C-alpha cells in the first residue's frame, strides 16, 4: 500500500514563531514506515554527525526524534497535526534578548522517514511551510538523501539559506511534488 503523502495547501498554524530565537532548535524526525525509536535515533545521529564533530554544539542537536514519532500505517496529515501540536520547548528570553524566548524545535519544518533507503536513496521527506508573503504558509515538501541532509539542514539552521532556497538548490531529481495541489 503506498504512503499517503497528501497535505493541505497551507498550514498557518505553523506560523507565529518569527519573534523567537531558533539558534538551539532541532528538526523533528518522524516516520511513516515501520521503524523503532532506536532506528530513528540512528538516522538522526547520522544526519547530524558532522554537526556534532565540526561545531561547538555538543548540547544542541540539529535533528532529534520527535517525542511522538511513529506513524506507521497513518498519513502525512497525521504527522502534520502532531507537529503543529508538538511542544516547541519554549524557554523565556534572557535578559536583554529582543526575542520572545527560545524555541527548541523548528516550528515550520520537519523530516519524515518514508523509505528504508534513506541514506543513498531519497527516503527522507522534508516538509515545510513557506512564509513568502503571498504564499502565507503554503506547505511544500521534497525528498532528499540522508548523505546530503547535513549540508542543507545546517545551512538552514545557520540562516545561510531560506526554506525555499533549500528546495530550489536541490538537484532536479531530488525535488518532490508531494506538498502541492
Enter the pTM of the model: 0.87
Task: Give the Cα separation of 142 and 13 in Å (integer).
Answer: 20
Q: Write out the three cell numbers for 132.
A: 513568502
- How many CA atoms, within 13 angstroms, populate the side-chain half-sphere of residue 15? 13
Question: Tens digit of pLDDT for each residue in 67-78?
Answer: 999 999 999 999
Positions of E strands within the chain: 26-31, 63-70, 105-113, 124-130, 138-144
- DSSP bridge pairs for 129: 139
- Report long-range pairs for 35-42 (Cβ below 8 Å, ≥24 apart): 35/70, 35/72, 35/113, 36/70, 37/65, 37/69, 37/70, 40/65, 40/69, 40/70, 40/113, 41/65
Q: Residue 176 above 50 pLDDT? A: no
Looking at residue 109, its pLDDT comes to 94
Looking at residue 174, its pLDDT comes to 38
Q: Residue 108 above 80 pLDDT? A: yes
Q: Residue 47 above 50 pLDDT? A: yes
Question: Tens digit of pLDDT for each residue in 144-171?
Answer: 999 888 888 887 877 777 777 777 776 4
Q: Residue 134 above 80 pLDDT? A: no
Identify the CATH class of 12-174: alpha beta
Confidence of residue 56 (pLDDT cuts 50, 70, 90): low
Alpha helices in the chain (DSSP H): 37-54, 76-85, 146-158, 163-168
Task: Give the Cα separation of 145 and 140 in Å (integer).
Answer: 17
Amino acid at each position: 500500500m503506498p504512503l499517503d503523502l497528501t497535505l493541505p495547501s497551507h498550514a498557518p498554524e505553523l506560523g507565529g514563531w518569527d519573534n523567537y530565537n531558533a539558534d538551539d532548535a532541532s528538526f523533528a524526525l518522524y516516520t511513516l514506515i515501520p521503524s523503532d525509536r532506536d532506528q530513528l535515533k540512528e538516522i538522526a545521529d547520522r544526519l547530524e554527525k558532522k554537526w556534532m564533530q565540526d561545531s561547538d554544539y555538543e548540547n544542541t542537536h540539529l535533528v532529534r526524534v520527535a517525542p511522538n514519532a511513529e506513524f506507521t500505517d497513518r498519513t502525512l496529515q497525521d504527522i502534520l497535526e502532531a507537529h503543529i501540536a508538538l511542544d516547541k520547548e519554549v524557554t523565556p528570553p534572557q535578559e536583554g534578548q529582543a526575542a520572545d524566548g527560545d524555541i527548541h524545535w523548528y516550528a515550520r519544518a520537519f523530516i519524515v522517514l518514508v523509505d528504508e533507503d534513506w541514506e543513498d536513496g531519497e527516503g527522507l521527506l522534508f516538509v515545510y511551510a513557506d512564509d513568502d508573503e503571498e504564499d502565507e504558509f503554503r506547505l511544500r515538501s521534497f525528498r532528499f538523501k540522508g548523505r546530503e541532509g547535513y549540508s542543507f539542514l545546517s545551512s538552514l539552521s545557520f540562516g545561510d539559506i531560506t526554506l525555499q532556497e533549500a528546495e530550489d538548490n536541490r538537484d532536479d531529481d531530488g525535488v518532490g511534488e508531494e506538498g502541492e495541489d
